[in-house]
Structure 1
């Protein structure tokens, strides 16, 4: 082969690589909106909403539980919607409705309406996240210029990017507005940011292809061999969402100002982006679900630090440890599934894992809020959630190796 031919091939590969990364970055705005803005930014607005609406901690937790119920419904419905309307259309429609729900949340102070809007954001958020992940998996299949795990890491890191954006904007906005009514403008700001994300997401979606239809045969997977990881993933859902729901309110009650909250939330989001890539090698090298156990132990340590001390070094260390670990749990569960099951079992396995995870998310905020109603306040509720993360890590260690047919393709576990 001549030197010019080699240069042309290299140039072509670099062009394909850049194009693929551009597409995935556009699709990653989906998790940025549905996770970073629609799910997690609620924690930043919770103190203001509680102040005006006189919510109990149980009511505050119920809002995120409603979001989790919607997520469960969306996770169950996403596959059939994608088959009927197409993966690309489902992704864009769900993403658009999620943005509309953010804007509508600012329009009402009625608790019932807010619960419905949080649930709607959960339904459409799950559909957008899952279908977007399917488009990335399709791009990753057969890649010669990128490792599939890298492309998936970029997509999952979108959720962290949304956390960073909301963390840098919402507390600053609230600092210049009324401490009670400022939450309305916060939801409007989140909706406007979401609208800005729709254009690049739409462009990226147009550059993708529909994933091939899933086979309809042999969908019964050996769930009895995966009781440990199913249980661990469910406990993770209970523990992590409690922290993400109440940690800002906990710091706010302890006297943290707007600047500290901005730094904390921005650091948590930045760490989640870095952690999505940092944990790839340990996950791939550790046997069985040991990688998942290590990540959950790190997550629990991050959750415990603010309970030991609310000093700035402890809270910022918490942001780094927790933020750098919670999205990696999704990658770890995905890795165990990929190594343990043949391709035709991935879809039902991931669907079951998603349902268990969503059920944990439903329980977590309400459980933490109810426990926190006593004299100990949020300290006890967050301590229980950290304890559940420790238990989740121990349960993950019980997962045994399962020898089945292997494949080089990558499944998606929803987070």
Structure 2
């Protein structure tokens, strides 16, 4: 496959991440204040829906590990992308908590299939060029997820401000329709990689014990990052931020995520240890804590930039670690296992943060707790040595 074709394939894979991450997981934060207002939810109930999504993510990651030896990764990616798109459209059809929970779980199951396989498939691009490979992996998660946040952030707060909280179902339908537009490109990329042997060979057992610091650091990422992305809009609404400012912050956050691959590309290309993940977790922690420690418009802007430049590079760091330290036939298994660890950890983050916010009557305490967990993860990840 020519380099040009490989970049085009990457575009489709990145648009898949836009749907399964940028939309299915993080657009909820933008719609949360309106949904919470309309349905009278507590912070714990609001956090539950992202926990439900994370529970589905565990199931999807586990299914990916089970299916990866029997079904091609490109087929799992395509299936996950199609079904996640359906779940986005369905979420806006009913306001009952059981309905919302059902489709948030379903989006988690299907999104995990696409997410894990997209990372493994991208690791197979530019195999003879480590720098391009590291950049491609970073672009997949950075630009893929960041684009979804830019699109959702630029539209949803302003739409809700114009039409009121009752318009939240329209928000889900809008992002579902955009996902339908992206779907053909993602499916085309999947067909281009259908014959790749990347995940189909019998793999050696993973050296899990030697990888424990990286796994623990990634668990810290799962526990901490989701709190900011779940409750950012709710926190800003508590601080009486207007819809245009909230939209600006989310667009700035998404643009920073899109730019993040170019900030971290050399670190990712150079190191085969846990150092990249450790540094990234420090950045996420700082971004999470800033708006609480020093409330204000300027610190909200700095927080969005710092958080955005770091958050989606954590999956890039573990994918890059996998590629540098394990044989190609083990990549799919390893990335699926990382996804399971991450998914289990992030189930606790939203509902735990919601309970803490309800207890103190202020979600800011949850953001500080998340920052602390991220810093603990950073310390542990720093002990990871190359295999």
TM-score with structure 2 setting the length: 0.93
Query: 2:132 matched to which residue of 1?
Result: 147
The structure showing larger relative contact order (alpha-carbon pairs under 8 Å, at least 6 residues apart) is 2
2:112 is the counterpart of 1:111: no
Deviation at 1:287, TM superposition (A): 6.6
State which drifts further: 57-66 or 198-207.
Answer: 198-207
What is the CA deviation profile of residues 173-211 of structure 1, one whole-angstrom value per residue up to 9, with x for unaligned ones?
Answer: 1121122x1111111111111111112223333333332
1:226 touches 1:399 (CA, 8 Å); kept in 2? Answer: yes
Unpaired stretches in structure 2, ≥5 consecutive residues: none
Cα distance change of structure 1 residues 130 and 58 upon mapping to structure 2, 3 Å threshold: same
Cα distance change of structure 1 residues 217 and 143 upon mapping to structure 2, 3 Å threshold: closer
1: CA distance, partners of 2:51 / 2:316: 24
Query: 1:202 matched to which residue of 2?
Result: 187
2: CA distance, partners of 1:18 / 1:395: 39
Alignment of 1:15-414 (within 5 A): 16-142=2-128, 147-156=132-141, 157-179=143-165, 181-212=166-197, 213-216=199-202, 218-219=204-205, 221-286=206-271, 288-402=273-387
1: CA distance, partners of 2:129 / 2:313: 22
SS across alignment from 1:139: coil
1:102 touches 1:188 (CA, 8 Å); kept in 2? Answer: yes
2: CA distance, partners of 1:29 / 1:283: 22
2: CA distance, partners of 1:197 / 1:342: 32
> What is the RMSD of the two structures over their aligned residues, measured on CA atoms?
2.1
SS across alignment from 1:147: helix
1: CA distance, partners of 2:147 / 2:182: 12
1:283 touches 1:292 (CA, 8 Å); kept in 2? Answer: no
1:134 touches 1:211 (CA, 8 Å); kept in 2? Answer: no
2:120 touches 2:331 (CA, 8 Å); kept in 1? Answer: no
Q: Which has the larger radius of gyration?
A: 1
Cα distance change of structure 1 residues 99 and 347 upon mapping to structure 2, 3 Å threshold: closer
Cα distance change of structure 1 residues 398 and 168 upon mapping to structure 2, 3 Å threshold: same
Number of equivalent positions: 385
2: CA distance, partners of 1:349 / 1:207: 23
TM-score with structure 1 setting the length: 0.87
What is the CA deviation profile of residues 12-55 of structure 1, one whole-angstrom value per residue up to 9, with x for unaligned ones?
Answer: x9xx3333222211221100011001100000000000001111
1: CA distance, partners of 2:116 / 2:290: 32
2: CA distance, partners of 1:186 / 1:379: 26
1: CA distance, partners of 2:286 / 2:14: 28
